[in-house]
Structure 1
């Protein structure tokens, strides 16, 4: 399945527009990662535990979006975007969405 953040595909023809597809995941912070993040706030540097958590969350949201696209008969998702929101103290949602299409 082709996934892109472009609004159209310059080298492909869209033969059918299906509509919005989406995928999301809600993740909570890990106590050990919070401790290490607290130390990094003092000394500075990348919060690798959080970077890893967000990468895993984006991948899962994309997989769920792709699964929904397959279920509606799409072979591509264009104009893909991400959004995040706080759901509860220490938990956040990663949301991926785009337009499901069929391309030649």
Structure 2
């Protein structure tokens, strides 16, 4: 499944808009990551545990978005966007969304 943050797929023609598709995951923090984050807050630097957590959450959200597009028999997803939000004190949501489309078959 092709997906793009642009409004089209280069070299392809969109033949049908199948609507918005989305995938999300709510990820909670791990106590060990929180301890390291507290230390990094004092001495500075990247909190790699959180970076990894968000990268994993993004991958899951993309996979779920693609699965929804496949259920609609889409060929691609355009205008893909990502957003995060705090759900509660120790959990964040990662949301991936875009527009599922059919691509014109080449003759």
* Shared fold per TM-score greater than 0.5: yes
Indicate whether 1:27 and 2:27 are aligned: yes
- Show the 5 A alignment for 1:16-55: 16-55=16-55
TM-score (norm 2): 0.94
Alpha-carbon shift at residue 11 of structure 1 (Å):
1.0
Alignment deviations for residues 4-33 of structure 1 (CA, whole Å, 9 cap, x no partner): 000122311111110100000000010000
Indicate whether 1:77 and 2:77 are aligned: yes
How many residues are matched?
104
TM-score (norm 1): 0.97
RMSD: 0.8
Query: For residues 36 and 85 of structure 1, what CA distance do their matches in structure 2 show?
Result: 21
Query: For residues 88 and 45 of structure 1, what CA distance do their matches in structure 2 show?
Result: 25
My pick for the range that moved more, 89-98 or 3-12, is: 3-12
Alignment deviations for residues 57-77 of structure 1 (CA, whole Å, 9 cap, x no partner): 000000000000000110100
